[in-house]
Amino acid sequence: ITEKAEFDIIGMTCAACATRIEKGINKLEGVTKATVNLALETASVEYNSAQVNIQEIIQKVEKIGYEAKVKQ
Ligand code: 9UX
């Protein structure tokens, strides 16, 4: 099942930060589309919930060096 989640991303300084996070999330198995908005400090992620979950997405962002919080 394809689901969509929105995250607040903390710690982005320049456009390359956003690109790094976007590429990193997109590399996760099960992520079909991830976009990061630097100005809004958000990420929008479409993913297959059978393959990856929100916690794994957050952990990926943290591994790259930023903080992510899911928006309700
Ligand atoms: Mo820009 Mo972000 O030089 O970690 S890539 S600040």
Give pLDDT tens digits for 7-56.
999 999 999 999 999 999 999 999 999 999 999 999 999 999 999 999 99
The amino acid at residue 68 is: A
Q: How far is the CA of 1 from the centre of ligand 1 (A)?
A: 34
What confidence score (pLDDT) does residue 10 get? 98
Q: Which residues line ligand 1 (CB under 6 A)?
A: 13-14, 16-17
What is d(CA 51, CA 72) in angstroms, rounded to the nearest whole number? Answer: 21
Q: How far is the CA of 50 from the centre of ligand 1 (A)?
A: 33
